[in-house]
Every structure is written in structure tokens, then in C-alpha cells.
Amino acid sequence: MCGRVVQKTPMSEIRVLFETANPVPNAAATYNGAPTDTLPVVRLDRDGRRSLDLLRWGLVPWWSKDIKMGARCINAMAETVATKPAFRDAFTRGQRCLVPVDGFYEWKKTATGKQPYAIVSADGLPLAMAGLWERWKDGVSGDTVQSFTIITTAPNALCGAIHDRMPAILPPEKWAAWLGERETDADELRWMILRPYPAERMRAYPVDARVGNVRNNDPELFEPASLAA
């Protein structure tokens, strides 16, 4: 599961890194991004250009009667993303996106309770999580909500020591294929997200338990913390 993320790199730098074409959205840094938050993602616009947009975390299928379903769809398993009803339409229609993050949190079970860890790239650059996005219209108000989910896969050795799943992270050379800038079949797409990101390209460190409360959102959450003796 991936249920908390850090996005602190300025949007102007994300625009350069991901080569997006639209104006930079106004998004503040978050050190404890959580489901139902509005976060930046990269996807293709109607003209096939990369676009950096703000979407709600928790995919609401187009057919859902209630926006609350999004809270149950914050993650999509790579193994079933093409077949599970909540995600298969977005996957089939090519509504794929990248979720740029500076890191994410996972909790490791210990003898004294759960210890949160931050997991980041070894080189300090943002990571690109594979995701899907959807557009949903409220049948009562008529409002349109655009939302996304993060795809998870089997963990690499680093993440597996902390949790039994990890986000599907794609290296830059895979971004074009995932976004749909080149023709790609479903088998290739599934193969991309079923492969765990190399453990040697990541590092993990313990962080303060305050990260467990979504009301806490400050840079200190992302700093290394000492483990209790």
C-alpha cells in the first residue's frame, strides 16, 4: 500500500523535469500528502502534450454514484489493474499518469509497534509513480471531479523489509510509453508496472511517528529520526 507521499520539489522544477507544456499549477509543498488531498500529476492533454495538473487522490470511477468510493481506490494493484472494475476502464482508455514525489512513507511492524520510514531515491531526485486518472460527474450537483490512483506492485528487497507492497515506480526511459506518447500494448504496460523498482536506486530511513497524523505537515516529518533503543 502507498498511503502517504511527500511532494516538496517546486512545481517549476517538476515542469522542467517532466517536460510539461501547460502553465505551472499553484500547489504548495506537502510533507504528508494523504488520500483525498489534491496533488500534482503528469498526464497527456487532448493535444498529446504532457500536462501538470492537480487531481484528487483516490480514483472515483466514472460510473460511481458517490465520490466517497474514491477513498477506497487510493491504490490499484498492478496484478489486477486491467481487470478490476474500479480501474479497468481508465486503464483500457489509456488514462494513465505519473505521480511525481520526493518520497513516500511506509510503516514497519516491530515488537514495540509500527515504525514509519521514509523511502526516497538514492540520488535525491523525484520519483515517478505509475498511476491512473479518471473524470467523474456528480449526478446531483453536476460538478466534475478529476481523481487519480497510485499503482502498487511486489516490493524490492529494500521496501520488502518494511512492507509487503510498494508503488510501481517508473524510470524516465519508461515515461513516454506509460503516458501513451508511443504505441504500447497492454502486456508491455503490465510488465512495466509488475517490475519492482531497483532497490539499489532507493534508500529508506526512520522518521518521527508524528507522520501518522495527517494534520501534521511540516518539513521535520521528512527528516531522519533516531530509533528507540
Catalytic residues: 2, 106
Query: What's the rounded Cα separation, in Å, for the pair 67 and 10?
Result: 29
Q: Is 206 helix (H, G, I), strand (E, B) or coil?
A: strand
Determine the 3-state secondary structure of 160 from DSSP.
Answer: helix
- Chain center to CA of 194: 15
For residues 60 and 138, is the Cβ–Cβ distance under 8 A?
A: no
205 φ, ψ to 5°? -150, 150
189: phi > 0 → left, psi -120 to 50 → alpha, else beta; which?
alpha
- What would the grid cell of residue 36 be? 483525498
